[in-house]
Amino acid sequence: MHLDPFELSQPTTIEEAVRLRAEHVDGSDYLAGGTDLLPNYKMHLNVRPRLIALGNVAGLDGISLDRIGAMARLADLERDRAFASSYPGIGEAIREIATPLVRASGTVGGNLLLETRCFFFNQSEFWRASLGYCLKADGDRCHVVPQKEKCYATFSGDLAPTLEVLDAEVEIAGADGRRRVPLERLYDAQGDGIHRHHMAPGELLVAVYLPKDARERVATYLKLRVRPSFDFPELGVAAAGRFDGDRVLGLRLGLGGVETRPRRFDELTDPVVGSRLSDERIRAIAEGVVRQSRPVHNTFLAPEYRKRMVGVFVRRALTKVRDSARVA
Amino acid sequence: MPSRAKGAAANGAEATSSSSLKITVNGLPIDRPCPPERILLDLLREDLDLTGTKRGCDLGTCGCCTVLVDGRPTLSCLTLARLVDRRSITTIEGVTPVHGLSTLQRAFVEHGATQCGFCTPGFLVTATALLEERPHPTRSEIIDAISGNLCRCTGYTKIIEAIEAAAREGR
């Protein structure tokens, strides 16, 4: 597969990158690791005439215990000993992403802003032309839930649920300067598979920040996928908790791979704070998440199965967090 | 090319079809024009005739196209050639001694770790980098390291055994 010709910019500062993107707001994409964007370009999915490569931009790199640069390679984060020993839960999530070869190029920012996926979208141009194009690329209808308004493509990043349950924040650069928002609020609850972020066109993800108490949380990430390597999640559940003996000091639960955004369920986990995380409470939380989650028929496994597995994975994740906190 | 783009090329910000690429491939310096959309795999196979690096899925799933960029295993099918400007590339041809085979390659032969052979260059490059970083990997580290390389013939067991044998023998 060959790429269609495009212009390539290689800015060296954040300001220059943002300015270039603003100049070509409808005709460009930022290029980070390329492991998601370039396959899509090869399949002629929403190709733009200009790529703005971020590899030479100063200020997007670096890994420390409270800050991860958006251009940090997933493999580098995985291998950073200080980081890995402080955040084993993040390590679990990273090792579930694609393959070591993809992680060697793929970046943290790229995984957080991963293009949503759908088996009517991630297909060759020939395949899509044969069926008729979809809302997300070149067409005007959705083949998953037949209508013309909303795209149901699934958010398939593995890192976001884990960073959300650790209350990570992200720094965003735009024409008007920098701002910081909780990662969870980066994703638009009223959006869809196309309009997914609270980011203005041209804004650039700079870094992820972890709060001080993130290191005190026991976290885990469990992923359902068809093959144990490479595959995107059919669902992913992240959980993080802080405990004083049996008493819950804080509990967070995140779900990805099911809907158009990774989301948290604070309304289900907050009531547990101050009490014991019993098996009954875990089961009740799991039932609550299952009730709210709405997988559709756009990934490999059937939505009915994924919905049931949401409950199983939530139970497993919460039980694991509780029991490993006891051991620690 | 518009003159603006040409002017910008002087400070390195813009790559145009007229921009030249300077890389080292298997120790040899290469300096040639390279358009922005040129994928490293195509540059190696079609421009430099280094056809040992294979095009499998072309989407990053199979690992057949793995090369080393500054010693690091990299999917050449998902790498824009322009973005490895001034870097050092090692392909399967580069990890093969001028005469004979490397310890790892011999181990692949002796253990029957190759059948149709299409995936073998990718496995060899990935495993070469693994043994460079960890001369004595555990079995599970080997399995993890090659989990981005697909083989449809061997069932992996013989590949894992070959890498273990090469590690025992030392490169």
What topology is assigned to A1-56 in CATH? 3.30.43
Whole domain around residue B156: which residue ranges? 103-169
**Do the domain assignments include residue B5?**
no
Whether residue B64 sits in one domain with residue B38: yes
| Residue B16, pLDDT score | 56
Domain assignment of residue B126, yes or no: yes
* Band of pLDDT at residue B14, cut at 50, 70 and 90: low
pLDDT of residue B15: 55
Q: Are residues B113 and B61 in the same domain?
A: no
- CA–CA distance, B166 with B107 (Å, rounded to integer): 6
Tell me what pLDDT residue A119 has.
Answer: 93
Same domain, B87 and B150: no
Check whether B1 has a pLDDT greater than 90: no
> Is residue B117 one of the residues assigned to a domain?
yes
Mean pLDDT estimate for chain B? 91
Q: What is the CA radius of gyration of chain B?
A: 18
User: Tokens at residue A143, please?
Assistant: 């083949």
If you average pLDDT over every residue of chain A, what do you get? 96
Closest CA to A182 of A162, A203, A168: A168
Chain A: which residues have CB within 8 Å of chain B?
Answer: 1-12, 16, 31, 34-35, 38-39, 42, 51, 53, 55-56, 95, 98-102, 104-105, 228-230
B72 and B25 share one domain: yes
pLDDT for B8 equals 40
First to last CA, chain A: 51
pLDDT value of position B7 = 35
pLDDT for residue B10: 37
Q: H helices of chain A, where?
A: 14-23, 37-42, 74-79, 81-86, 88-95, 100-105, 108-112, 125-131, 159-165, 183-186, 266-269, 279-292, 303-327
Asked if A266 and A257 touch (Cβ cutoff 8 Å), the reply is: no
State the pLDDT at residue B12: 43
- Domain ranges in chain A are 1-56, 67-113+154-327
Split at pLDDT 50, 70, 90, the class of A59 is very high
3-state secondary structure of A302: coil
Of B20, B61, B133, which to mutate for an interface test with A (greatest number of A Cβ within 10 Å)?
Answer: B61
pLDDT at position A9, please?
97
Tell me how far apart the alpha carbons of residues B113 and A96 are, in angstroms, rounded to a whole number: 27
How far apart, in whole angstroms, are the C-alpha atoms of residue A219 and residue A52?
Answer: 35
Q: How far apart are CA A214 and CA A20, in angstroms?
A: 35
Mutate to test the interface with B, among A48, A101, A122 (most CBs of B within 10 A): A101
- Which residues does B145 contact at the CB level (< 8 Å), separation at least 6? A100, B126, B127, B130, B137
Considering only alpha carbons, which residue of chain B is nearest residue A13?
A: B13
Res. A7: pLDDT tops 70: yes
- The rounded distance, in Å, linking the Cα atoms of A142 and A149 is 8
Please state the rounded mean pLDDT for residues A228-239: 96
Rounded Cα gap, residues B90 and B121, in angstroms: 12
- Rounded to a whole number of angstroms, the CA Rg of chain A reads 20
Q: Could you report the per-residue pLDDT of B91-147, keeping only the tens digit for each?
A: 999 999 999 999 999 999 999 999 999 999 999 999 999 999 999 999 999 999 999
Tell me the pLDDT tens digit for each residue of A131-176. Answer: 999 999 999 999 999 999 999 999 999 999 999 999 999 999 999 9
Question: Please, which residues have CB within 8 angstroms of residue B4's CB and are 6 or more apart in sequence?
Answer: none
* Measured distance CA(B75)–CA(B66) in Å, rounded: 5
The whole-number pLDDT of residue A287 equals 98
CB A75 within 8 A of CB A104: yes
pTM: 0.94
Q: Is B138 a member of any domain?
A: yes
Task: Among B95, B128, B145, give the residue marking a domain's end.
Answer: B95
Within a domain: B10: no
**In chain B, what is the straight-line distance between the N-terminal and C-terminal CA atoms, in Å?**
49
Fold adopted by A67-113+154-327: Enolase-like; domain 1 (3.30.390)
**Interchain CB contact of B20 with A (< 8 Å):** no
Phi, then psi, of A308 in degrees rounded to 5: -65, -40
CB contact under 8 A, B60 and A39: yes
pLDDT band at A328 (very low <50, low <70, confident <90, very high): low
Same domain, B64 and B127: no
Q: Which of A114, A122, A56, A105 is nearest to B77 (CA)?
A: A105
A·B CB contacts under 8 A: 97
Tell me whether domains A1-56 and A67-113+154-327 share a fold: no
Rounded Cα distance, B148 and A227, in Å: 12
d(CA B93, CA A252): 50
Which tokens sit at A324? 């490993």
- Look up the CATH number of the domain holding residue B126: 1.10.150.120
Tell me: do B76 and B28 sit in the same domain. yes
Whole-Å CA distances, A189 to A21, A172, A303, A326, B166 = 25, 19, 21, 35, 52
- What's the mean pLDDT in B142-167? 97
In a domain, B4, yes or no: no
A325 pLDDT tier (thresholds 50, 70, 90): confident
Q: Is B63 domain-assigned?
A: yes
Q: Work out the average pLDDT over A67-86.
A: 97
What is the pLDDT confidence band of residue B11, given thresholds at 50, 70 and 90?
very low
Which of these three, B39, B68, B95, is where a domain ends?
B95
A4, A38, A55 ranked by CB distance to B78: nearest:
A38
Identify whether B55 is part of a domain: yes
B70 and B110 in a common domain: no
Paired strand residues for A174: A177
CA distance A153 to chain B (A): 20
What per-residue confidence (pLDDT) applies to B5? 37
- B149 contacts in chain A (CB < 8 Å): 101
Q: Are B118 and B164 contained in the same domain?
A: yes
Domain boundary among B95, B129, B155: B95
Mean pLDDT of the region B83-87: 97
A83-106 confidence digits (pLDDT tens): 999 999 999 999 999 999 999 999
Band the pLDDT of A111: cuts 50, 70, 90.
very high
B163 with B120, same domain: the answer is yes
**DSSP-derived secondary structure for B132-161:** HH-SS--HHHHHHHTTTS--SSS-SHHHHH
- Domain count of chain B? 2
